[in-house]
Amino acid sequence: MTKANPMADEMRRFVGTDEKNPFEAMSERFDKAAQILGLDPDLYAVMRVPSREIKVYIPVRMDSGHIQVFEGYRVQHNFARGPAKGGIRYAPDVSLDEVKALSAWMTWKCAVVNVPFGGAKGGIICDPNQMSLGELERLTRRYTSELMDFIGPERDVPAPDMNTNEQTMAWIMDTYSMHARHTVTGIVTGKPVPIGGSLGRREATGRGVLFCVNEAIKRFNLTPAETTVVVQGAGNVGGLGAQLMHEQGYKVIGISDVHGGLVNRDGLDIPKVLDYINENKSVEGYPGADFVTNEELLEVECDVLAPCATENQITSENSPRIKCKILAEGANGPTTPKADKILYENGVFVIPDILANAGGVTVSYFEWVQDRMGYFWREDVVNERLEEKMVASFNELCHFSEKHNVDTRTAAYMLAIDRVAYDTRMRGIYA
Ligand code: GLU
């Protein structure tokens, strides 16, 4: 007997009820977009799941002399459009479901900005704040050597993510190169500039957020000087994003780190705030601003709210109290699907994460290209090409959303799924 709707059955099998499970959140959006697109059930079945999940146990000699074994993952979600691509995060609460979701988001993100990569993500369960530099180096090198057969410039290209940085990438590049017996700069992106990194990569995610916001405020007839901005997060994305917006004349009235947030309705001196955080390792005690909790910060009335920290910050619980016009998602997965509905009903214009934070992977793509050419671009060339990509993708997404009469999040997934589906269909499924 043939089934009336095989996709609906598949969907029931996958979608759970945990609002904060990132893989379920990703799947719910995927299903909705796939259904509106009328995605072929065979393509649906293939694209819905990762291509490969790798779990490694990483022995590390700690400074005490003893061995500690860490659990790590690399999930490669999709290769239809090119090598898999995505960062590696180090955190105590990393889980396989989180890494799976993040790997899928990389596939959709790369497709939204139309760079020739699939998606992947890695993670190691560890507390980098409790580890010495030597322990982190040994952890990184052993993790890399465990993944030797699965990563490579043509296979899967890691990058920084939460709690990893240029130094981490340099260790990965060196370890991979030692095994390969020659220097392979294209194995990772986000490297230090002198050893195959790209100018502008460090600021790229924040700059991408800025370019999206520049486009979005036009829809509200706002100029930067009239636009109030609240940024959650003061790291690579939030900190540099706030700094760039401040430089462009935006009025950044709120910013936070893990300890809490600062609010000053007259505008914060962002370079000063960032210097303060750098010195004191916390926003706490900064003079000339009100101190609020991270939850309170999200509810501050503003034109642009940019959650640039982590997942599940805007949920069914607090979304009715979010008072921004534009939500620019610098983090991956900051909003749950239940919150999506509430924000939509309240007329919030959402720049979805798979577009808003795609500046990082876009310049990663430029870095990979430069490594392969062995010819490095000027910073203004990198930034100009990034702007071109972000603006074009923003407009394509808005066009898609208007044409299909769907919210911008659904439009982003539809755009991405449509591209990956086309390429998968053209290549054919080797089944
Ligand atoms: N970790 C970043 C992200 O989530 C960058 C990934 C990359 O450059 O490959 O987009």
CATH of the domain at 260: 3.40.50.720
3-state secondary structure of 8: helix
**Measuring CA to CA, how many Å separate 427 from each of 79, 82, 305, 415?**
11, 12, 41, 19
Residues in the chain: 431
Ligand 1 center from residue 112 Cα (angstroms): 14
- Of 106, 212, 390, best ligand 1 pocket probe by most atoms within 8 Å of the beta carbon: 106
Asked if residue 381 belongs to a domain, the reply is no
In the block, which residue shows the tokens 């991979």?
Answer: 176
Identify the bridge partners of residue 87 per DSSP, sorted by sequence position.
159
Asked if residue 145 belongs to a domain, the reply is yes
Nearest atom, ligand 1, residue 105 CA: 4
Kindly report the backbone phi and psi dihedral angles of residue 248, in degrees, each rounded to the nearest multiple of 5, phi listed first.
-85, 5
Asked if residue 146 belongs to a domain, the reply is yes
What phi-psi label fits residue 62: left (phi over 0), alpha (psi between -120 and 50 degrees) or beta?
beta
Expressed in percent and rounded to 5, the helix, strand and coil fractions of the chain are: 50, 15, 35
Give the tokens for residue 240: 């540099």
Burial zone of 97 (CB within 10 Å; 0-12 exposed, 13-18 middle, 19+ buried) = middle
pLDDT in the model for residue 16: 54
Task: Confirm whether pTM is higher than 0.85.
Answer: yes
Q: Which residues line ligand 1 (CB under 6 A)?
A: 85-87, 159, 161, 189, 332, 357, 360-361, 364
Give the tokens for residue 199: 């100018």
Q: CATH code at 74?
A: 3.40.50.10860
Q: Which residues contact 316 (CB under 8 A, 6 or more apart)?
A: 19, 336, 338, 339, 342
Ligand 1 center from residue 388 Cα (angstroms): 19
Asked if residue 431 belongs to a domain, the reply is no
**Measuring CA to CA, how many Å separate 35 from each of 10, 87, 285?**
11, 29, 50
Q: Within this chain, do residues 243 and 148 fall inside the same structural domain, yes or no?
A: no
Q: Within this chain, do residues 167 and 86 fall inside the same structural domain, yes or no?
A: yes
Q: Which candidate, 326, 334, 325, places its Cα nearest to that of 353?
A: 334
Asked if residue 397 belongs to a domain, the reply is no
Domain that holds residue 225: 204-356
Q: Within this chain, do residues 222 and 351 fall inside the same structural domain, yes or no?
A: yes
Q: Within this chain, do residues 225 and 179 fall inside the same structural domain, yes or no?
A: no
Q: Within this chain, do residues 161 and 234 fall inside the same structural domain, yes or no?
A: no
Asked if residue 285 belongs to a domain, the reply is yes
Q: Within this chain, do residues 65 and 178 fall inside the same structural domain, yes or no?
A: yes
Q: Within this chain, do residues 232 and 340 fall inside the same structural domain, yes or no?
A: yes
Low-confidence ranges of the chain (pLDDT < 50): 1-6, 8, 10-15
Nearest atom, ligand 1, residue 85 CA: 9
In angstroms, rounded to a whole number, what is the distance separating the alpha carbons of residues 114 and 355? 11
Q: Are strands 290-292 and 304-307 parallel, antiparallel or unpaired?
A: unpaired
pLDDT in the model for residue 423: 98
Count of structural domains, the chain: 2
pLDDT in the model for residue 18: 85
Asked if residue 9 belongs to a domain, the reply is no
Tell me which residues are annotated as active site. 121
Ligand 1 center from residue 343 Cα (angstroms): 26
Q: Within this chain, do residues 179 and 229 fall inside the same structural domain, yes or no?
A: no
